[in-house]
Structure 1
């Protein structure tokens, strides 16, 4: 939970540390099936990095702010469990880059998303220019990057960055509903699907297909696939244990 409402939930070293620690804990807890990134109810989901901390010099042997962002954002992107972003309001600069690390984006109808780096003569460092063109049409990515403008979540849904738009008051109940649904799926199959889908972004089609087939052969040895097939045959709801 991003919880700096007076600072529009801007990112600090403490928040980045807390995020990395929480993700490590979540990975080790089999009872946690889905991770949700949300913010306190203020006009912003995340307005980017705290510029004071960005400009601070790192102590000898310490990661600078941007490398700390890379580490924590990478942990979020590579989390083996489904990660949902609940976008309640203004989302820009580092907030947009943070959102792009998530698997599913559910947004309030009051939310806006954009990249404002160019407004301040700042170059993105954790995905703005490198990842955004992979998630939306390249001309849309360039428009957002060059103009520094934000677009309503409804428009970003048309471009594929946002999965669902809901009424502002229904945001967290809809996210909870989605979490409940995903929690009933096989955590093992979701983990493997996410792994292959992520790898495929940097592979040829044939390499991605080969990786998928190898993963399927491994999955044939799991208890979850046996439970799923048995439940289908017996016309009952499957109960997955994740192995």
Structure 2
């Protein structure tokens, strides 16, 4: 198996498990992660997802051996499966935390950028690296990186193929928090449980509005936000949150 998964206190863990290959993305892993995300999408037992890797890498990018293989007629090719996974991750309605335990390069960086929050081990390094092998990015490297980092910094990473430390990426805003290597899993679980205690419905709606806001005018984004609020006012979770505040107790959210 190239993927391990488990659920701990409403936090679903996806662990890329090809340590010997630095968790490089192959067809099997991409398909397995897509399938597990789809299984968890409507599972009330999972409110938050943490994505991480085994061994010394988060994900070193695409498995270039499989990239070079000719496609099989009538079957999804390598690009279909990898882009399908990253698109599924990016559109996942629940919060996704990247726990970057080591190298995150090329497709690994694209995977990180598709997550909502990024925690990184002190020893982690992140970079695009496609240019080092004459490979063009296909899951957001050139399109998303300049939206996440200052444009000149993104171009530096894209053109040179260099990697930055977790601390540098925190400085530029891609990483939310740098954590001691030994404490990364515990910190990711703690942040996951913090989010899992919130209303799943309000987080999903916030995520949707925030994701779409950058492609809209401010006026359109504000209209979208107001429309979501109008819908949300009729929800159990908003009514329960207000009742809990008035009664000075913890709310019991249902996600509806």
Query: TM-score band (shorter)?
Result: over 0.9
1:213 to 206, 226, 230: 226
Out of 18, 34, 41, the position equivalent to 1:27 is 41
- 1:32-62 deviation per Cα after TM superposition (whole angstroms, max 9, x unaligned): 100110111x221110011111111211222
In structure 1, the gaps of 5 or more residues are none
Q: Which has the higher strand share?
A: 2
The whole-number CA distance in structure 1 between the counterparts of 2:148 and 2:158 is 13
Query: Structure 1 length normalisation: TM-score?
Result: 0.98
Alignment partner, residue 9 of structure 1: 23
Select the residue among 208, 222, 237 that pairs with 1:224.
Answer: 237
Partner of residue 7, structure 2: none
Q: Residues of 2 paired with 1:70 and 1:48: CA distance? A: 12
The residue number in structure 2 matching 1:116 is 129
- For the residue of structure 2 that corresponds to 1:169, the secondary structure is helix
Distance of 1:74 and 1:120 partners within structure 2:
24
Compute the TM-score of the two structures, normalised by the length of structure 2: 0.93
Could you tell me which of 69, 84, 104 is aligned with 1:91? 104
Which residue, 85, 94, 102 being the options, matches 1:81?
A: 94
User: Structure 2 CA distance, aligned partners of 1:113 and 1:127?
Assistant: 15
What does the per-residue CA deviation read over 1:132-160, in whole Å, with 9 as the maximum and x for residues that have no partner? 00011111100100110001000000111
Q: Which runs of 4+ in 1 moved over 6 A?
A: none
Give ranges in structure 2 of 5+ residues lacking alignment.
Answer: 1-14
Q: 1:135 aligns with which of 133, 148, 152?
A: 148
- Tell whether 2:183 aligns with 1:175: no
Aligned length: 242
2:141 aligned with 1:105: no
Q: Is the 8 A contact 2:25 2:82 kept in 1?
A: no
1:11 alignment partner, SS class: coil
